[in-house]
Structure 1
Amino acid sequence: MSIRTVLFDLDGTLIDTNELIIQSMLHTLEKYAPNQYNRENVLDFIGPPLDESFKWVEPTKVEEMIEVYREHNLYHHDSFVKPFDGVIETIKALKERGIKLGIVTTKIGDTALRGLKVTQLDRYFDVIIGYDDVEHAKPHPEPVLKGMEALQAKASETLMVGDNYHDILAGQNAGVKSAGVAWSLKGREALQKHNPDYMLETMGDLLDIVGK
């Protein structure tokens, strides 16, 4: 059965916020765990919700750390964020084909919308499911299921696209097809271990998968 709905993770998938996230994470970790983290080992913190990541650093100060992170992240946001190559053209083409498009992210909804607006992608998406819209974040199926419900989509016709194993597992747990992106900061090999249905070398590869 053909794909009629595509749900996307946002950061690292559609928009390049990698450097922004790394710098915000290093800024926060340096304050609460000085001289313990660098660019390489901070990558393990990227992907899960902030509260899950920070509880391993200083469990009594998680909310405080989140505020420090978000303050830094939002202050520098607009100067760092840009779409990955081919994203705007592909999303526009999918929309023109009548494909339903949604965002499923571990960011809070308002921040996700800001990223979409900065990159001029907001006009193409019918729904944003943010961290503040669910009780259980990816890899739990709830965010994907909520996205499908909002778009009145069938699982057999839905694809979940992301740059992190949480995205692949969330799609699998929700009973939809999944696609990893080869430009993932974690590396394509890390995603392949979780057996996505597709691996996108470029975002344009979606046009060969969707809508046939």
Structure 2
Amino acid sequence: MVKALLFDFDGTLLNTNDLIIQTFMHVLEERFPGQYKPEDCLRFMGPSLVETFKELTPDEVDEMVGKYRKWNLEHHDELVTEFDGVIETLEELQALGIRLAIVSTKRRDTIKRGLDLMGASHFFEFLVGIEDVKNVKPDPEPVLLAIEKLGVEKEDVIMIGDNHHDILAGKNADVKTAGVAWSIKGEDYLKQFHPDYILQHMSDLLPIVKES
């Protein structure tokens, strides 16, 4: 029986795709003029910023992360949009008594900013952000921490996300997983990682929960 849902945030609950790509393009164009195109940034979506900049600029990780976060926050509210049906579905899930939490590689304050913008903060019992763990997704640590905080059994949990990091973190934690077809990387990309469910729309969670 499904009792709890763990959600990734970026690209799953809030459409931050344009924000993330434009932020990467801003900082990379400054550092590597003309070397990157927007489509090149897709592979940076999922890993933590530290992981990404350790690969790109190993001697300037803190500086690049700082520049990224500064521009990202300055342009956050103007560049994010809501995915269809998210708020309505969260309302129904809450009414059904399903427990909800967020498991993200972002900082908690940035997640909260997005949730507040959506008017969705009240749906979630807590947020697991990058500062809460030593190992980020696809390591199971963030998912296992959320399960521990909820006090539920693994078999009663689904981890939901738009990236392979989310699916693999769920599998590594031995919970069911769901990929969202509205992922910027595409439904076929997610299917490679064999999630238990593919959601075409946020409301697809309702029959899954009711029939479990």
Report the TM-score range of the alignment, normalised by the length of the smaller protein: over 0.9
Unaligned runs of 5+ in 1: none
- Partner Cα separation in structure 2 for residue 98 and residue 40 of structure 1: 40
How far the C-alpha of 1:54 sits from its partner, in A, is 1.3
The yes-or-no answer on 1:184 pairing with 2:183 is yes
RMSD between aligned residues: 0.8
The whole-number CA distance in structure 2 between the counterparts of 1:90 and 1:97 is: 11
> In structure 2, the residue corresponding to 1:7 is in which secondary structure?
strand
How far did 1:82 drift?
Answer: 2.5
Q: Indicate the SS of the match to 2:127.
A: strand
The TM-score with structure 1 as length reference comes to 0.98
Task: Provide the C-alpha distance between the structure 1 equivalents of 2:124 and 2:192, rounded to a whole number of angstroms.
Answer: 30
Match of 1:80 in 2: 79
What are the within-5 Å matches in structure 2 for residues 1-212 of structure 1? 2-212=1-211
Q: Structure 1: how far apart are the matches of 2:81 and 2:34?
A: 30
Aligned residues: 211
* Structure 1 SS opposite 2:177: strand
After superposition, what is the alpha-carbon deviation per residue over 1:138-178, rounded to whole angstroms, capped at 9, x for unaligned? 00000001111111121000000000000000000001000
Q: Separation in 2 of the partners of 1:58 and 1:80?
A: 26
Which whole-Å CA distance do the structure 1 matches of 2:192 and 2:160 have between them? 15
CA contact (8 A) 1:25 1:69 kept: yes
1:118 partner amino acid: L
Unpaired runs of 5+ in structure 2?
none
Q: SS at 2:60's partner residue?
A: helix
Q: CA-to-partner distance for each residue in 1:179-205, whole Å, 9 max, x for gaps?
A: 000010111111100000000000000
C-alpha separation in 1, matches of 2:210 and 2:99: 10
| SS of 1:178 mapped into structure 2 | strand
- Give TM-score, length-normalised by structure 2: 0.98
The aligned amino acid for 2:78 is S
**Residues in 2 aligned to 1:208 and 1:17: alpha-carbon distance in whole angstroms:** 27
Instruction: Check conservation: 1:43, 1:186, Cα contact below 8 A.
Output: yes
Note the C-alpha offset of 1:33: 1.5
